[in-house]
Chain A
Amino acid sequence: MITGRTGDWEIVIGLEVHAQVVSQAKLFSGAPTAFGAEPNTQVSFVDAGFPGMLPVINRVCVEQAIRTGLGLNAVINEVSIFDRKNYFYPDLPSGYQISQYKRPIVSEGWIDIDLPDGETKRVGIERLHLEQDAGKSIHDQHPQKTYIDLNRAGVALMEIVSKPELRSPEEAGAYLRKIRTLVRYLGSCDGNMDEGSLRCDANVSVRKPGAELGTRCEIKNVNSIRYVVQAIEYEARRQVEIIEDGGSIRQETRLFDNSKGVTRTMRSKEHAHDYRYFPDPDLLPLVLDPKLIAEIKAKLPELPDVKKARFVAEYKLSPYDASVLVAEQESAAFFEVVVQGRKDPKLAANWVIVELFGALNRLGKDIATSPISARQLAGMLDLLENNTISGRIAKDVFGFMIESGKDAATIVAQRGLVQVTDSGEIEAAIDKVIADNAAKVAEYRSGKPALFGWFVGQVMKSTGGKANPAAVNEILKKKLAG
């Protein structure tokens, strides 16, 4: 909901996500798909649209689409049709893109997205279809010429179309994050937005709550979740301003300029292409054996929603913590190693979410490239749980681990960080603090119990943090009582 001069406006958003299918070969040719190769080195004659060349469907890509459709709780269509979408562009060698128009491989599904207030919202999925990616036009290498790189031409994409059920830029962001999580779990797309493996078109319109749908604009090819949120935010405000100024929205395609944070016209409806879709006569209808669908279903990994529910039930985590942990399969797996056999799963979750993720974030690394393993973190938590080290020391030990990649036990031994639980040693330290601070002791005893914490701090400081905090509390309380 956004507030304009004439009151509140509801934003209506539908997203089209283009997810590059994880597959060694392209959708209709045997050419490889690796990212970052020299231009035009991963191109077959099929991809280059040479005369007489014919497409042959890649089974792996079909299986990935089925897998993804199942992950989207969607209907897998046993018969689907490939169509040609005709338009001229230099990076579209055949003059048509092979896509699915009227009969996609997947239709009617849903996902639950996590909202900031901890609630979830169910968002409908209209369809998922397979299509070819285009090549790349490079305009900045020559004053007059455009260069073409066909490496990406023919790579398989899954276009995942949501229903127009998203109502805020944040929901759109949450939806995208969820799609990304899901396809990464399924292994059907690497979700890498920097390399363009996941791209998004956003259809945005505004209306007064309860009113008819407004005219929409489509924002093309936004390549980060942050930009999608920004672009929708900007676009919705732009539309509200136009309508409130007495204007009307023109249906058009717009581009997001991320340097300026604005959307601008790419082409208006009058200039929209007539794609002249028709079934590709080079390809038979795609007919799926129900057995294949069942096989793929049986082999699906535990998906994020199920995993999240399990984390809440099994480890008594908050839904929020659980959703953070399951966002990446690797994080969830990491956590499950750390938490194994532990009395306090919540503590383990905190260490992973707050300390480890914080450290990785600072280092610009992710869980896969983490300097410490899940077993190493578990080893540290063992020392904490058996009182070898205190919570405070644990943070220091963790810092050293991140720096050096060494085990906690090694660091504790080398640096002499073993926690002092010997009450004699702690008593001596307390006695010294009490003796050195007679004035404070008097103040405490005259009715300022809040000073207790200050005494604890002094004792910890004097023991270099190694004293067992519980023992310190207990002995200090007795001694201060006089």
Chain B
Amino acid sequence: MAALTDLTIAAARRGLAAKEFSARDLTQAHVDAMAKARGLNAFITETPAQALEMAGESDRRLAEGDAGALEGIPLAIKDLFCTKGVQTTAGSKILTGFVPPYESTVSQNLWNAGAVMLGKTNLDEFAMGSSNMTSAFGGVKNPWRRKGEARDLVPGGSSGGSAAAVAARIAMGATATDTGGSIRQPAAFCGVVGIKPTYGRCSRWGIVAFASSLDQAGPITRDVHDAAIMMRAMASYDAKDSTSVPRDVPDYEAALGKSIKGLRFGIPREYRLDGMSPEIEKLWEQGIAWLREAGAEPVDISLPHTKYALPTYYIVAPAEASSNLARYDGVRFGLRVPGNSIEELYENTRGAGFGAEVRRRILIGTYVLSAGYYDAYYLKAQQVRALIARDFTEAYKRCDVILTPTAPSAAFAMGEKMDDPVAMYLNDVFTVTVNLAGLPGISLPAGLSNEGLPLGLQLIGRAFDEETLFTVSHVLERAAGFTARPGA
């Protein structure tokens, strides 16, 4: 039998049902893996005692025939989700000592389905970053390395801890959030699957906010099937989140294995960037070929406002962030650095509590919302955002799903691009449009770079049509036969 930590969620579910092992066995194996892999720095907080206790409860429910959809499955939770009684940091010093007295809706949904919490994963501070290097708790190491190289690579960001933990077989799956690519890009960098569902599909209640109109939770798992299982458990309509959408959550597993014969998939010509790495180009062509072989038909489409997506994103997201992060003022929770006046207390606390990237984005956001600049920046960005969304609406008249690369490169080394924020922001070039349009997008590992690093393909769907994403990504997954694993 394979090691318990090598099982997929689907396989573990079968094993638990067949009593081949207990939930405690499964959790213990992952708790051990977590301790062993501490060098990756994937976790900010480990909760092994709680994990084993929850696993015990799962065993009881399994014995009573009362198992939930994720009964006994050990998961990692991105440290942006508030977890009752467990420190929640958002990767920032400013939340030092903050222990939420409430549980986020998404994590509560998982516990209600019987899942087990291993701990809280590392992330870019307030989810602002594409490398996990902005975390106040230090960067996460990607479990993958370039062939024949010892240099540590980044896992991507902001859900780098979650992606690394899943890739390194510490957790069977992990929660993540995606504001501009924060689920899909680290999934691609770490060779795992990540889906950002349609905006409004998962409740944002209890998730530390970065940019409210873009933030969405989703799972990171080792394969598409597991993503379908986990996605269904995470999603729900939540009256506590006014932007959550009252729609039934379908059985995503039922979408797997369906034929895609006759399906039209769009290839956006604007995504063929000048100077794009040939291996990304080749992977994309390979993806097109696989879908074609499965009976689907490629359609050349245009998303003409793509070139404005990054600047639009880097106005909208910081604007919302500058306001969302105003509450971290040292008055009610988290870090407080005293001063001689309230202004000094604010300045001292926020100066000491926020890292450079967060400060940069607060400054940008404050600037673009200022009197005299609002119309030129924020208002204009919202208008462009509407055009970007319209591009997709137009495109979906001609196709059912869109295929693109997930990121313009494979994982880069820790420390790279740190002095050039614009180069760093370019990581999101294929993913931000999806957030701006509120659409679902999935990334799955589809091949290796020449250096032996995983590369991801992205599928973008119509709003609330995650099912098509699961159907098509499942086809791609089987065609790609991606079996490489880190550290091999």
Q: Do A and B bind each other?
A: yes
Question: Which residues of A lie under 8 Å from residue B204 when comparing CB positions?
Answer: 52, 54
Asked if A278 and B242 sit within 8 Å, CB to CB, the answer is no
A35 at the B interface (CB under 8 A): no
Min CB distance, B55 to chain A, in Å?
A: 26
Question: Which residues of B lie under 8 Å from residue A284 when comparing CB positions?
Answer: 242-243
Question: Which residues of A lie under 8 Å from residue B82 when comparing CB positions?
Answer: 51-52
Question: Which residues of B lie under 8 Å from residue A50 when comparing CB positions?
Answer: 100, 102, 327, 332-333
- List residues 368-402 of chain B with CB under 8 A from any CB of chain A: 369-371, 374, 378
Min CB distance, B104 to chain A, in Å?
A: 6
Min CB distance, A152 to chain B, in Å?
A: 16
Question: Which residues of B lie under 8 Å from residue A52 when comparing CB positions?
Answer: 81-82, 100, 102, 104, 204-209
Question: Which residues of B lie under 8 Å from residue A148 when comparing CB positions?
Answer: 331
Asked if B369 and A94 sit within 8 Å, CB to CB, the answer is no
CA A50 to CA B206, docked complex, whole Å: 9
B422 at the A interface (CB under 8 A): no
Asked if A54 and B240 sit within 8 Å, CB to CB, the answer is yes
Chain A residue with Cβ nearest B80: A52
- List residues 313-367 of chain A with CB under 8 A from any CB of chain B: none
Q: Which of A85-93, A252-260, A397-405, A435-443 contacts B (4 or more CB under 8 A)?
A: A85-93
Query: Residue-by-residue, is A280-312 near B (CB-CB < 8 Å gives 1, otherwise 0)?
Result: 011110000000000000000000000000000
CA A2 to CA B327, docked complex, whole Å: 47
Question: Which residues of B lie under 8 Å from residue A86 when comparing CB positions?
Answer: 322-323, 326, 369
Min CB distance, B338 to chain A, in Å?
A: 10
- List residues 26-81 of chain A with CB under 8 A from any CB of chain B: 45, 48-57
CA A54 to CA B320, docked complex, whole Å: 14
Known A-B contacts A95-B323, A282-B212; the reply to A90 vs B342 at CB < 8 A is: yes
Asked if A278 and B378 sit within 8 Å, CB to CB, the answer is yes
CA A441 to CA B254, docked complex, whole Å: 116
- List residues 332-387 of chain B with CB under 8 A from any CB of chain A: 332-333, 342, 346, 366, 369-371, 374, 378
Query: Residue-by-residue, is B296-327 near A (CB-CB < 8 Å gives 1, otherwise 0)?
Result: 00000000000000000000000110110111
Known A-B contacts A93-B332, A94-B327, A96-B323; the reply to A51 vs B239 at CB < 8 A is: no
Total interface residues in chain A, CB < 8 Å:
29
Residue from B208, B241, B242, B326 in contact with A88 in the complex, judged by beta carbons closer than 8 Å:
B326
B101 at the A interface (CB under 8 A): yes
Asked if A49 and B370 sit within 8 Å, CB to CB, the answer is no
Residue from A56, A90, A94, A282 in contact with B326 in the complex, judged by beta carbons closer than 8 Å:
A94
Interface size class of B (residues with CB under 8 A): 35 or more
Asked if A48 and B242 sit within 8 Å, CB to CB, the answer is no
Known A-B contacts A48-B332, A51-B209, A52-B104; the reply to A96 vs B242 at CB < 8 A is: no
Question: Which residues of A lie under 8 Å from residue B374 when comparing CB positions?
Answer: 276-278
- List residues 399-449 of chain B with CB under 8 A from any CB of chain A: none
Asked if B243 and A282 sit within 8 Å, CB to CB, the answer is yes
Known A-B contacts A54-B205, A276-B369; the reply to A49 vs B242 at CB < 8 A is: no
Chain A residue with Cβ nearest B366: A276
Chain A residue with Cβ nearest B213: A281
CA A306 to CA B240, docked complex, whole Å: 42
Known A-B contacts A51-B208, A276-B366; the reply to A95 vs B104 at CB < 8 A is: no
B95 at the A interface (CB under 8 A): yes
Asked if B239 and A276 sit within 8 Å, CB to CB, the answer is no
A216 at the B interface (CB under 8 A): no
Asked if B327 and A45 sit within 8 Å, CB to CB, the answer is no
Chain A residue with Cβ nearest B90: A51
B329 at the A interface (CB under 8 A): yes
Asked if B102 and A45 sit within 8 Å, CB to CB, the answer is yes
A274 at the B interface (CB under 8 A): yes
Min CB distance, A56 to chain B, in Å?
A: 5
Known A-B contacts A86-B323, A146-B342, A278-B323; the reply to A93 vs B331 at CB < 8 A is: yes
CA A1 to CA B82, docked complex, whole Å: 61
B98 at the A interface (CB under 8 A): yes
Chain A residue with Cβ nearest B365: A276
Query: Residue-by-residue, is B77-112 near A (CB-CB < 8 Å gives 1, otherwise 0)?
Result: 000011000001010000100101110100000000
11 contacts between A and B (CB under 8 A): A50-B332, A52-B100, A54-B241, A54-B242, A86-B326, A88-B346, A276-B323, A277-B374, A278-B319, A284-B242, A284-B243
- Interface residues, chain A, with chain B CB atoms under 8 Å away: 45, 48-57, 84, 86, 88, 90, 93-96, 146, 148, 274, 276-278, 281-284
Given A51-B208, A278-B374, 11 extra CB contacts under 8 A:
A49-B332, A51-B82, A51-B90, A51-B100, A52-B104, A86-B323, A96-B326, A276-B370, A278-B323, A278-B369, A281-B243
